[in-house]
Amino acid sequence: MSDKTMTAEQVVSRLESGMTLGIGGWGSRRKPMALVRALLRSDVSDLTVVSYGGPDVGMLAAAGRLRKLVTAFVTLDSIPLEPHYRAARERGAVELMEIDEAMFMWGLRAAANRLPFLPVRAGIGSDVMRVNPGLKTVTSPYEDGETFVAVPALRLDAALVHVHRADRLGNGQYLGPDPYFDDLFCEAADAAYVSCERIVDTAELTKEAAPQTLLVKRHTVTGVVEAPNGAHFTSCAPDHGRDEAFQKQYASMPWPQFAARFLDGDEQAYQSAVQTWHKEQA
């Protein structure tokens, strides 16, 4: 069994422009922001992003790296609509496939099982079908003959997720209130990269919590990155909550100013800039 530890920069070096990239987490909760920031420091662009969207989507859209988005929503939770994403959509800068949350999950599950689609009742009788004219329906081959939406598999070239703990082999553990489908993102991808708050020995993964918290299995993981506070400014409870003050700053600050102050440098420079900003607000 091999050591899969990597740096965020090594992860990004394996990504290419034009890829379909899945990003785990949910809204402004447990997003792999250290990996997203590393991606923003690269020249990778023209991405199709599949995400229950939050600031990951907003930053990539604001930076002009996003060509197409597949999502059920893009929110900062305490701020209902992600403002940088909204601005990009209003400019017509991002192609959008917006589907129901359950349809999104079923698309990931189809990809995880290497199926071309899965049938689902969600979407029938709604505007989801109108705004996505490419979606097709299928009829049950059994006696009931019910009609379903055939949700296409959301196959990913790569996935980025953030968990609380991981070992060097690629096993990932969540300790918070919800898994946010991060396991499906990894299973649906050709390559999956997991950042974590802390790398621990394999034996420690079951000391801190029950075995069922071992969400991500090593056979689905390509690389592991230790990134303390790597979900900032999104929440990663119980390790840390959402940095609401900084999120408000992100939402209200023009993107060029935000990028120049907080993203001009490596991850250590980002964390230092955030600490300095908080001191200025005190």
Domain spans of the chain, in order of start: 8-99+155-281, 117-152
* Nearest alpha-carbon partner for 150 in 124, 186, 183, 185: 124
Digitized pLDDT (tens) for each residue of the chain, 282 residues in all:
699 999 999 999 999 999 999 999 999 999 999 999 999 999 999 999 999 999 999 999 999 999 999 999 999 999 999 999 999 999 999 999 999 999 999 999 999 999 999 999 999 999 999 999 999 999 999 989 999 999 999 999 999 999 999 999 999 999 999 999 999 999 999 999 999 999 999 999 988 778 889 999 999 999 999 999 999 999 999 999 999 999 999 999 999 999 999 999 999 999 999 999 999 998
Residues 137, 149: contact at Cβ < 8 Å? yes
pLDDT of residue 207: 80
* Nearest alpha-carbon partner for 193 in 17, 29, 38: 38
* Nearest alpha-carbon partner for 106 in 70, 154, 141: 154
Instruction: Return the percentage of the chain with pLDDT > 70, whole number.
Output: 99
Q: For residues 184 and 112, what is the distance between their CA atoms, to the nearest angstrom?
A: 6
Q: How far is CA 68 from CA 40, 95, 96, 241, 261, in A?
A: 16, 4, 6, 30, 27
Q: Distance from first CA to last CA of the chain, Å, rounded?
A: 48
* pLDDT tens, residue by residue, 201-213: 999 998 877 888 9
Tell me the angle at which helices 55-62 and 33-40 cross, rounded to the nearest 10 degrees.
0
User: Domain 8-99+155-281 sits in which CATH superfamily?
Assistant: Glutaconate Coenzyme A-transferase (3.40.1080.10)
* Torsion 269-275-279-282 (CA) sign: positive
